[in-house]
Structure formats: structure tokens, C-alpha cells
Amino acid sequence: MTRTRRITAVLVAAVLAVTLLTALPARAGDASADENGFRITEGETFSLDMHFLVQFQAVRDKLRTRVNGSYWRWYDWAGFPDAPRSSTTPATDSFNVRRARVIFTGKAFQPWLSFRVEIESSSRETSDPDLMDAYVRLGGDRGFAATIGQFKAPFDVFRLARSWKQLFAERPLPADQLAPGRDIGLGLDWRSESGRYLVQVAAQNGSGRNLPDTDDGIMTTVRLEVQNEGGFAYDLSGVTRPEDLQYTFGVAWLNNPVGGLVDADSHSTCLPGISRKCVYDTSDQQALELFGAIRARGFQATVSWQSWTFEDGRVTNVSGKTADRDFTALEVEAGLFLAEKVEVAGLYSRTEDDDYSLGSAILSGNVLVAEQWDKFESQQFGLGVNWYFDEHNLKLHVGWLNTKRRMRTRAREVASGFSVGHDGKITHEVPAIYAMLSFYL
């Protein structure tokens, strides 16, 4: 999304909020403020609440690179015979505003009509304001309901938990890089009167938040969930310390056609006025999630296992053929309170390709010199301590996170007229120590 469009979207949301504040004071009761935010106005059929989230983060990290076996040989083929087997960059220190958000929620005109507008400025992606949530919801907490606008796709249990209710400063790597986030569309859900059974279905663009649709398909997500009596709150911490066991488990499925317009003859970029005919070239991204979480007396554990398939997502090989790219992802987090306000936390995540893909080839003239097959993996280990001054309203997180990305290699040298196999790997490792102060009201 361009800067101009992003700022325009935020200004529109701000104008709507100001309009609500000034046009409907007659319906209001007395304004109030507590740990649940600011109640600006409230009437029989209208209410408006405002919330703030600010997270300050300090990070110290560095990059380590190790090259083994055929990968170093690959550097030699590519013309870098003096490349080191391992290297480490100097440590970097940074202080940033990880998130700064203003959130408006409430109901309008009818008890069953509610809304949510969330605006963020983050030094991680861009300093420009960004529109996060912007939706209207028809229905209550039980029975059938519909959501229209920009909202989170119902996939990945770590994604569905709010940023200020995470165990760590960042979500696990698969949730951050694979799972869909917010998108524009329509959602339908049903929850039983007991709160135990939940069904969610969403039809969204599949292009991401604040972006127009770039293909001729719709991202479809279905989620089935069983929870404890009364429902399970998406909080990754056990800070509420329930006496009885709380739990949720279920399954989610996603299909997202991605692609764009291409030239019908050359299959290259569509050029209006030049291409004879343009058609949509799309491929499906499909994912299955099995998830679960338990919470009781200061303990919380959450797990998500996912299987992904990117149709024709494997790198094109030298013969021009493509194939599906399949991989799995695992996310696990757990926290335990050792004292009234002190919680220790652990994190593990892993993403792995399930099959090799032909990555590249080196040619000398028209002679094939070498081929290389690559397999990608990522791993995360994390340990942390959370100090809850006032539950999620004010907390300090201090942690250590080690992220590894490894590319395993099977290479074949064919320059001498016969094949010579090589095996090796290249590993990028980023150990980080960080602290984050989170304030939510």
C-alpha cells in the first residue's frame, strides 16, 4: 500500500471517530476510565470506547553464518574460493517503539451492532500510520454473527491472540511469516449457548491488509473449535489464574489463490495496450492447522501444527518444470507463574520443507557445470521472564531468542563428464536479547 493511500485510510477512520464523538453526545452517559480503557460515551443503543497500546522495545542481536560441505564448494564454483567457512557480524543495539496503537470499539444504534477501528504506527515496518482492524459486527457472543470489513483471518491460534496478550515480544516465526493476518472480506461464525462449540468461516481477498485484490480468487478459511464451558479467551498467558481447567482445541483449513494478470502468449507481465490478451495466472496456497491450548492456576500452554502446500511453488528447474512446495510448521509456547507477578516462559518453533527443490544451476557456455537442490529449515528457541505490574495493562518482558535458518544442500557436479555428489549446509543464526515494556489501557 502506498504512503498516500495508507495516510488517507487513517484520516478517514479518524474523521469517522471524531464524527461519532461530536454528533452523538446526547446519547451519552458520564465518561469514565479504568483498566479496560476509556468509556467516552454510553447510551441504550450506543457506546464508544477508546484504548491505547504502546510497546517500547530494546534489542541486542548479531548474525552468525556457517558454511559446511558442498555449500562452500558451491561458493568455489560461483567464483568465491576465499569465502570463509564461518563469520559473525558485530552486535547491534536498538531501541524502538514496537507498537503504538489507538483503538475505538463500541456499539451503534442496535445492541447487536458493534464496531472496531484500530490504527497503528510501528518502527518495525513503517513510521506511517497503518489501518489494522476496521470492521462492523452484526450479532452477539452467542448464536450466529457476521463480520464485515478488515479483520483477522481465523487461522493460527498465535495470530488470533492480541499483541498485548502474547508471552513473548514477538510471535513465533511461522505465525509471523506464514499465517495470514488481517484482510478485507466477510466472516460468519456461530457459537453455542454454552460457549463450548465455535464455527468460523471467512471469505477474504487474500492479498493482506489495506491492499486490493490482485487475482480472481477468494481466500477461504474454515475453523472448528471446542472449548471449555463458557468459552476460552485468547490469552497466551495464565495471568487470570483460573481454578478450573480451561482449554480449546480444533482444526482450521485455508485456501488462498494467489497470482495476477499475465500475458496470455508469453506468460510474462501483462502490458495493457501491448499484450494481445491478458489472463489471470493463479496457484493455490493451502494450509491445515491442528491447535490446542490449556490454562489453569497460573499455567498456560499453546501449540499449533500446520501443513502448507504452495501449488507450483517450487523453484523452476533447468527443464522448465515446476512442482508443489510442501512444508510443515510447529509452534509451541508455555508459561508458568513462579510468584504472584512473575512468569517464566518458553518458546519453540520449527518450519521445514518436506521435499527438495531444484534451486539453481551454473552454466559454462551451453554446458551444465553444476546443479543444486535446496531444503530450507528454520528453528526458534526462546526463554523469557514476564513481570506483570498490572496484568496485561502494564508488564515488562525480558527474554532471549535464538533464530536459525538453515539451507541444506545436495549438489551434483557434472563438468567433468560424470556426476560427483556433494552434501552440505549454510546456517544463518541470530541470537537476540531483548526487553519490552507494554502499556495497554
- Write out the residue range of the structural domain in which residue 23 sits: 3-440
Amino acid 138: pLDDT: 94
Q: Which three cell numbers stand for residue 271?
A: 502490458
| pTM of the predicted structure, to 2 decimals | 0.82
C-alpha dist (Å) from residue 139 to 111, 114, 143, 162, 192: 8, 8, 8, 21, 13
Q: Which residues are bridge partners to 184 per DSSP?
A: 150
Please compute, for residue 138, the number of CA atoms within 13 A of its CA located in the half-sphere on the CB side: 6
Q: So what's the pLDDT on residue 153? A: 94
CA distance 96 to 151: 26
CATH value at residue 50: 2.40.160.10
What is the distance between the alpha carbons of residues 184 and 153, in angstroms, rounded to a whole number?
Answer: 9
Scan for cell 471467512, then name that residue: 202
List pLDDT tens digits, range 257-274: 887 677 677 667 777 777
Buried b (16+ CB within 10 A) or exposed e, 96-113: eebbbbbbbbbbeeeeee
Residue 41: the pLDDT is: 73
pLDDT, residue 315, reads 54
pLDDT tens-place string over residues 271-306: 777 777 777 777 788 999 999 999 998 899 999 999
Closest CA to 78 of 411, 406, 339, 353: 411
Cα–Cα distance for residue pair 390/300, rounded to 1 Å:
18
Query: 346 to each of 56, 294, 336, 349, how far by Cα in Å?
Result: 21, 15, 9, 10
Let me know how many helices (H) and strands (E) the chain has, helices first: 4, 21
Cα 295–chain centre separation: 23
For 72, list phi and psi in degrees, rounded to 5.
Answer: -65, -40
pLDDT for 412 equals 56
Distance CA 141, CA 376 (A): 42
* C-alpha to C-alpha distance for 102 and 53, rounded to whole angstroms: 7
Q: How many whole angstroms separate alpha carbon 224 and alpha carbon 421?
A: 47
Say how many domains are in the chain.
1
Cell of 21: 464523538
Is the separation of the CB atoms in 281 and 259 below 8 Å? yes
CA distance 183 to 121: 18
Q: What is the pLDDT of residue 70?
A: 57
> Letter for the amino acid at 398?
V
**Which parts of the chain have pLDDT scores under 50?**
1, 22-28, 317-319, 363-370, 417-420
Task: Note the Cα 139 to chain centre separation in Å.
Answer: 27
Per-residue model confidence (pLDDT) at position 30: 58
CA-angle at 15, arms to 11 and 17, nearest 5° = 115
Q: How far is the C-alpha of 329 from the C-alpha of 315, rounded, in Å?
A: 20
Burial of 248 from C-beta contacts in 10 A (0-12 / 13-18 / 19+): buried
